Structure 1
Amino acid sequence: MIDLGLKRITQLLSHSSIPWKAIHVAGTNGKGSVCAYLSSTLHSSGLRVGRFTSPHLVHRWDCIQVNNSVISESAFLAAEAHILSLNDTHSIGATEFELLTATAFELFTRSNIEIGVVEVGLGGRDDSTNVLPAENVLVTVVTKLGLDHQGFLGNTIEEIAAVKAGITKQNIPMVVDASNQDSVLEVIRKVVTDSQGGDFILAAAEPNGSPADTGCFITTPSFGTLRFEKLLAGGYQPQNLSCAINALSLISSKYPQITPAAIVKGVAETKWPGRLEMLDIGKIHPGAEALVDGAHNPQAQRELRGYVDTHIRPRGSGKVYWVLASTKGKDVNGMIEELLGENDVVVATRFGAVDGMPWISSVETGEIVKAVEGRGEVKEVQNCVEAVRIAAREVEKEGAALVVAGSLYLVADLHRFIDGTD
């Protein structure tokens, strides 16, 4: 159930303390990557750091990390039991995500973290993570915005921007991805000003001219100009990294252990599974690999297509087999328009039930088939592992490439099968 608002989570957390500081990250695309960069660099700086992102990938508890390691199942269940008890005892009626947020915060406290990197679940202003008090928040970040979740956040990108910017806090600085369109930046700036927020920082990056085009220069007042040679995959990563580095720059006076050397090391060690990830699928088809990505909105799908055209197609015949699923309510026609190239083939499939998120379900394969008809070849396979197996066989015969995309829940199902945890 999605029921936005802060009343229930406030009640739930009124029985707990939050002794740690937080970096709060909102956005449409890139916020998970920003959180990954932040937690990795804070950890490499010697700080005890927690990370809460959503949704989970393989297990419900893998959305919560301490010092870059997933919290143990036993620790998660113990903290969750405490939160569920509070919810029942006080008849709060918290939603699943509110319970998860409270569990993450409880685990951060139990783990004695110093800084928690907290990703917004949906929107910003009314998201349960926005329960964080101003005195706990070091800096807020808004990444690249696009159209997504319009039924909850607004029908225009400007309306969505106003909701996302709602994480601003009085006298607390905000870092914003400078590549957002001007109208979005104007809306966010107004929200910050009206809320008496702190400094408003636009984060930008410059290419460093490396042959593989995988690096960038980022300049901040605290660190000067830093050169990064290797980022997470994707043309949008320099902007994501710039958001993270600018946020770190703003808090470095309070945490002098955050140095340029620690940052460069932390960035090099950053991992973010399920996003432009080359995955060994030899368990499904011997010797095969697939590019997997959770791209679920037009902006992310456009970036995925660009990455595939630049880095994946040239490796083989140029043809791509797309194994696709989508969450109900998403724009399936738009997904096909963004992803499908000439002579490409789509294998439409489904993902299974999502643990802890009963409101999430896979679109019927027939809807994907209908969207592809007239644009290219399409097959329909209900089981996602079998869909990948069928596509991998054809890819091997034709020298093509294999991409699994459309939903992080599909990518998660594939990971679970390969990891032997399905």
Structure 2
Amino acid sequence: MGIDLGLARTARLLGQLANPHRAGWKVFHVAGTNGKGSVCAYLSSVLAASGVRTGRYTSPHLLDRWDCVSIDERPVRRSVFEAAEAHVNAVDAQHKIGATEFERLTATAFEVFRREAVDAAVVEVGLGGRRDATNMDFGPGSVVGTVLTRIGMDHESFLGNTLGEIAREKAGIVRAGVPCTVSGQNAREVLDVVAGVAAAEGAELRVVQVDGGRVHTPELGPLDVSGSPLAGAYQPMNLACALTALAAASASLPAVTAATIAAGVRAVHWPGRLQWLQLDGRPVLVDGAHNAQAAAALSDYVERTVRRDGPVTWVMALTQGKEVDGILSLLLRPGDSFVGVQFGAVEGMPWIRPVDPAELRAAAGRVVGANAYASYDRVRTCLSTLAQGSPAPPLVVCGSLYLVADLLRDLQAA
């Protein structure tokens, strides 16, 4: 079963599992189009640095199915994940619930958190918000913060055809009495929708702005957001959103202080996003940018750091359903080279399929002309061939986190 939004199946499944999501842990719930993952990484890193036993659930996984669930900044042990997963699948089958793969994965994450006795959990929305399987009733006082990152056009067939419609779906995680943090970089249409939802729900709304490399919080004062180890001009805002949410929840989490925040930020790690790798002795930039908003951010980074050395060679895969021409037009420039590739089967998500490389080549050819190619080799083989040129052009691998994962797995196995 592919994507089928709704809460009924997940609620029934969790009920038959004796409600692991209501085991008493504090919850930060994060939605948005871009930046969700790094906000989750900041939140969980700071909580762990504060001595709070912390679970994190993000999707999709990167290298292994179970690395979408982490405990204190490490992927959960495979044996723990598989035991919880087997229990969830058995209950789903026994009661003929028919939960989707993502719904069962979400239930597995919550079951892991209960078994691992976490004190707090950072939960990333899978798709949208209002009807996403993560949007459960965690119990009175459990949710201590909701965060809405930048919202853009994506998944229109599920969420709506305007920014306002998409924002309303994502703002479905806003809860009565729970502070809601929203990126101030959002369009006015988005901010107006979120403000309306927050007012209707009775949630305090905090619209985040970065001022001189700092974000100002009533609880913890000004906090530095200029020193993240994560690359990208958008990271100060992502970090500001995370720190604003932590400050707003600090009464419920007294272990979080300005000192533990600084330690957690220094320790944050979020692979596959503007990450530099060494391949055959030369640097390669990899990024999971998969929609227009993320592609624009990647383009900004490439223009400032990579293109100074001349035209860029792009190695790209995209998931079917993405706006191919729009994404490529944001990234490619005349004189660049382009190789369309594909990623392999995605474990646990059989409905995810790549665009055919020949289709990518045709679209890229309209921008870079004859410098567009298609390859059906593994991405590692393709990159090794490209690296043999002299002088070797700057290489960027992007378009899908699934492609980045294929490359990281190949390098790990080498």
Q: Which interval holds the TM-score relative to the shorter structure?
A: over 0.9
1:134-155 CA-to-partner distances (Å, cap 9, x unmatched) read 5221111100000000010001
Q: Are the aligned partners of 1:351 and 1:410 in contact in 2 as well (CA < 8 Å)?
A: yes
Q: Offset of 1:399 from its aligned partner?
A: 4.2
| Partner residue in 2 for 1:23 | 28
Name the counterpart of 2:199: 193
Amino acid at match of 2:246: L
1:217 to 214, 217, 221: 214
**SS of aligned partner of 1:239:** helix
SS of the aligned residue for 1:160 comes to helix
Partner of 2:42: 37
Instruction: Tell me if 1:51 matches 2:56.
Output: yes
Shift of residue 64, structure 1, vs aligned partner: 0.4
Q: Which residue of 1 aligns with 2:259?
A: 261
Among 282, 285, 300, the residue aligned to 1:288: 282
How far did residue 72 of structure 1 move? 1.3
Whether 1:393 aligns to 2:377 is no
Identical residues among aligned pairs (%): 47
Equivalent residue for 1:102, pick from 95, 107, 113: 107
Deviating more after overlay: 382-391 vs 304-313: 382-391
Deviation at 1:16, TM superposition (A): 2.3
Q: Aligned-pair distance for 1:393? A: 2.1
Task: Note the C-alpha offset of 1:329.
Answer: 0.6
**Could you state the TM-score of these two structures normalised by the residue count of structure 2?**
0.95
What's the CA shift string for 1:290-321, capped at 9, x where partnerless?
1000000001001101101101222x3x1111
Task: After superposition, give the CA deviation of every residue in 1:228-277 in whole Å (9 maximum; x if it has no partner).
Answer: 44211101111101110010001111222101010011001101000000
Of residues 371-380 and 79-88 in structure 1, the stretch that sits farther from structure 2 once superposed is 371-380
Say whether the 8 Å CA contact 1:327–1:360 is kept in structure 2: yes
Among 399, 402, 407, which residue is 2:395 paired with?
Answer: 402
Find the residue that maps to 1:264 and give its secondary structure.
helix
**Secondary structure class of the residue paired with 2:366:** coil
Say which of 79, 85, 109 aligns to 1:80: 85
Q: CA deviation at 1:91?
A: 0.6
What is the alpha-carbon distance in structure 2 between the residues aligned to residue 176 and residue 101 of structure 1? 24
What is residue 96 of structure 2 aligned with on the other side? 91
Secondary structure at the residue paired with 1:97? helix
Structure 2 spans left out of the alignment, 5+ residues: none
Contact 1:134 1:170 in 2 (8 A): no
Query: 1:113 maps to what in 2?
Result: 118
Q: Provide the alpha-carbon RMSD of the alignment.
A: 1.2
DSSP-derived class of the 1:131 partner: coil
Structure 2 partner of 1:9: 10
**Secondary structure, aligned partner of 2:135:** helix
Structure 2 match to 1:211:
none
How far did 1:346 drift? 0.4
| C-alpha contact 2:317 2:341 (8 A) present in aligned 1 | yes
**Structure 1 segments unaligned to the other structure (5+ residues):** 208-215
1:139-154 alignment, distance < 5 Å: 139-154=145-160
Counterparts of 1:128 and 1:25 in 2: how far apart (Å)? Answer: 13
Task: Tell me which residue corresponds to 1:126.
Answer: 131
Partner amino acid, structure 2, of 1:113: V
Instruction: For residue 163 of structure 1, report the CA deviation from its aligned partner.
Output: 0.1
1:159 aligns with 2:161: no
Q: Is the 8 A contact 1:171 1:197 kept in 2?
A: yes
Q: CA shift at 1:378, angstroms?
A: 0.8
How big is each residue's C-alpha offset from its partner over 1:357-416, in whole Å with a ceiling of 9 and x where there is no partner?
Answer: 00100110111111112321111111222222222223xx13421100000000000011
Question: What is the rounded CA distance, in whole Å, between the counterparts of 2:346 and 2:145 in structure 1?
Answer: 32
Residue type of the partner of 1:96?
A: E
Distance in 1, matches of 2:33 and 2:402, equals: 17
Distance of 1:147 and 1:387 partners within structure 2: 31
- Which AA in structure 2 matches 1:10? A
Looking at structure 1, the residues matched to 35 and 89 of structure 2 have their Cα atoms a distance apart, in angstroms, of 31
- Structure 1: distance between partners of 2:128 and 2:11: 17
1:293-332 to 2 correspondences below 5 Å:
293-314=287-308, 316=309, 318-332=310-324
**1:42-80 Cα shifts (integer Å, max 9, x gaps):** 000110000000000011100100000001111110000
**What residue number does 1:171 align with?**
177
Residue 212 of structure 1: aligned partner: none
Note if contact 2:144-2:252 (Cα within 8 Å) is conserved in structure 1: no
Contact 1:294 1:405 in 2 (8 A): yes
Give the AA of the match of 1:218: V
Between the aligned partners of 1:16 and 1:403, the Cα distance in structure 2 is: 47
| Counterpart residue identity of residue 77, structure 2 | S
**Equivalents in 2 of 1:406, 1:370: separation in Å?**
16
Counterpart of 2:104, as a letter, is L
Q: Is the 8 A contact 1:323 1:391 kept in 2?
A: no
Distance (whole Å) between structure 1 residues aligned to residue 318 and residue 276 of structure 2: 20
Is the 1:228–1:264 contact (alpha carbons within 8 Å) kept by the matching residues of 2? no
AA matched with 1:236: Y
Distance 2:159 2:367 in 1: 32
Count of residue correspondences: 404
Q: Alpha-carbon deviation of 1:206?
A: 2.6
**CA contact under 8 A between 1:173 and 1:197: conserved in structure 2?**
no
For the 8 Å contact 1:48–1:115, the answer to whether it is kept is yes
